[in-house]
């Protein structure tokens, strides 16, 4: 759904009262985060994020359900500890938004040679990640002098937030849905890298296991990669214990000898398994509070 269409569906009060007020509040905090040194901004964001744990009750219920699916062996207290740590982590992520370029320069990097070679050959590729770590650091920053990642994204319902939080990203912004499909293909044909967060539910997707439960998953990555003979890379940006981020890029092994539907299902299963590995390693750095599975699972 386009930003213009989302705006047209907002009520009069939302368009002219609540949306601008929320946008102004977020802009004030983003300005404050930008003025502060990165460490202070990150700490303040973490404090604010931790505070949200106590007021976002509905989101917490979703998070608890997701955590029970992923960690059935853990006690409720152990899962609650992860949920609290998640709020702190994501608060820090927003505090770090204005400092993405600085954090990228400071990060320990591994595997960027894969993308550097794609840029040299001027060949398109997919870069798959999830709502994990601080994906904004790479999505908002040029990887090298002229090569950047082009993110597929869902515009925010509030157009003010969309401009403040998302329009700052570099590269070509590719909206989700049919209107973004042509733009995505154009980027790939021109040798660009398309970034997709593959941990979101898509009603029109295919059912792929995730934490041993069926999850509707967008198959576009596998479908287009097969049709255009493109490589797929996994990429993550993980917060280290010392506060420095570790950026890792590595290729996903593809079996293009498989029949089309089998290839698509196999590829999306591999992507989900990689995401699971990341989450099991650093559970507090994944966004647990979005509905990844069918609505009935949360009732």
Domain hosting 36: range is 3-287
What order of strands is seen across the sheet that includes strand 108-110?
108-110, 245-251, 232-239, 125-129, 193-197, 149-153, 174-175
What are the residues facing 149 on neighbouring strands? 193
Structural domains counted in the chain: 1
Whether 143 is covered by a domain: the verdict is yes
Residue 148 located in a structural domain: yes
Is 296 inside any structural domain?
no
Domain assignment present for 295: no
The predicted-structure confidence for 146-155, as pLDDT tens digits, reads as follows 567 888 887 7
Nearest CA to 287 out of 218, 199, 221 is that of: 199
Nearest-10 crossing angle of helices 19-35, 38-52:
140
Mean pLDDT across 10-21: 83
128: which strand partners? Answer: 196, 234
Task: For residue range 77-117, list pLDDT tens digits in order.
Answer: 999 999 999 999 999 999 999 898 889 889 999 998 999 89
In the prediction, which pLDDT does 136 show? 76
- Residue 134 placed within a domain: yes
Q: What is the pLDDT of residues 24-71, one digit of tens each?
A: 999 999 999 999 999 999 999 999 999 999 999 999 999 999 999 999
Residue 8 has pLDDT above 80, yes or no: no
Q: Would you say residue 31 lies in a domain?
A: yes
Domain presence at residue 299: no
User: Model's pTM, two decimal places?
Assistant: 0.90
For residue 104, being part of any structural domain is answered with: yes
């Amino acid at each position: 759904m386009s930003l213009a269409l989302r705006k047209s569906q907002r009520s009069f009060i939302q368009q002219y009262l609540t949306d601008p007020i929320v946008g102004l509040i977020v802009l004030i905090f983003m300005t404050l985060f930008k003025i502060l040194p990165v460490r202070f901004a990150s700490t303040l964001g973490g404090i604010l994020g931790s505070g949200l744990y106590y007021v976002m009750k509905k989101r917490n219920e979703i998070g608890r359900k997701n955590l029970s699916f992923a960690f059935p062996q853990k006690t409720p207290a152990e899962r609650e500890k992860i949920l609290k740590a998640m709020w702190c982590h994501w608060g820090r992520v927003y505090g770090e938004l204005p400092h993405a370029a600085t954090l990228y320069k400071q990060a320990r990097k591994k595997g960027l040679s894969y993308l550097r070679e794609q840029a040299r050959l001027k060949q398109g590729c997919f870069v798959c990640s999830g709502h994990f770590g601080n994906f904004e650091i790479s999505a908002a920053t040029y990887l090298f002098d002229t090569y950047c990642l082009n993110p597929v994204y869902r515009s925010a319902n509030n157009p003010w937030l969309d401009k403040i939080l998302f329009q700052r990203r570099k590269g070509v912004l590719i909206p989700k849905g049919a209107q973004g499909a042509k733009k995505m293909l154009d980027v790939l044909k021109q040798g660009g890298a398309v970034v997709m967060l593959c941990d979101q539910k898509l009603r029109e997707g295919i059912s792929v296991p995730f934490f041993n439960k069926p999850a509707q998953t967008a198959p576009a990555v596998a479908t287009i990669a097969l049709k255009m003979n493109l490589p797929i890379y996994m990429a993550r940006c993980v917060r280290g214990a010392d506060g420095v981020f570790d950026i890792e890029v590595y290729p996903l092994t593809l079996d293009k000898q498989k029949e089309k539907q089998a290839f698509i299902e196999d590829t999306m299963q591999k992507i989900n398994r990689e995401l699971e590995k990341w989450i099991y390693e650093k559970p507090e750095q994944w966004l647990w509070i979005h509905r990844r599975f069918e609505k009935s699972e949360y009732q």
